[in-house]
Amino acid sequence: MAANILLTRIDNRLVHGQVGVTWTKSLGANLILVANDDAAGDELQQKLMSTTADSSGAGIRFFTLEKTIKIISRAADRQHIFIVVKTPADARTLVEGGVPIKEINVGNMHFAQGKTEVTKKVYADAKDKDDLLALANSGVKIYIQDYPGDKQYPITDDLLSKVE
């Protein structure tokens, strides 16, 4: 039985108000799984994210990417899982590691040196583009969407054409 993964979101802020409450409630998730190597070892970051998750009524777990790949298949049927990762590379690692992810929402990828604007909230560089297109080409439904109900922009070569 595959884990009941409702959605995976790429957001460099991980869990904050928008993810912890708006997305979690709209999905009907009862477990937020933060799959990120840094967050898995950062207690302060975990404390802040847990407070946000509490306000949505969902449980929250912090796993490294490797641990997520190893144990996701043991998730209980009653767990409606919302996975949050920091980067396209994290999402690609999970998919290539066998995590049964069918849908990825690209939420927030901040501007940084060397990154090109794709949308107002998503900036990407060549590595991000490579990872995003690899995910799209692996059969995962992947799109940029800020809030539930907003227009979805599917990840395509065209959408990422400005990124070098």
Catalytic residue annotation: 16
Q: How far apart are CA 55 and CA 45, in angstroms?
A: 16
Strands (E), the chain: 5-11, 31-35, 59-63, 81-85, 103-108, 116-119, 122-124, 141-144, 153-154
Length of the chain: 164
Q: How far apart are CA 103 and CA 138, in angstroms?
A: 11
Reduced to 3 states (helix: H, G, I; strand: E, B; else coil), residue 113 is: coil
Cα 141 to its chain centre, rounded Å, is: 13
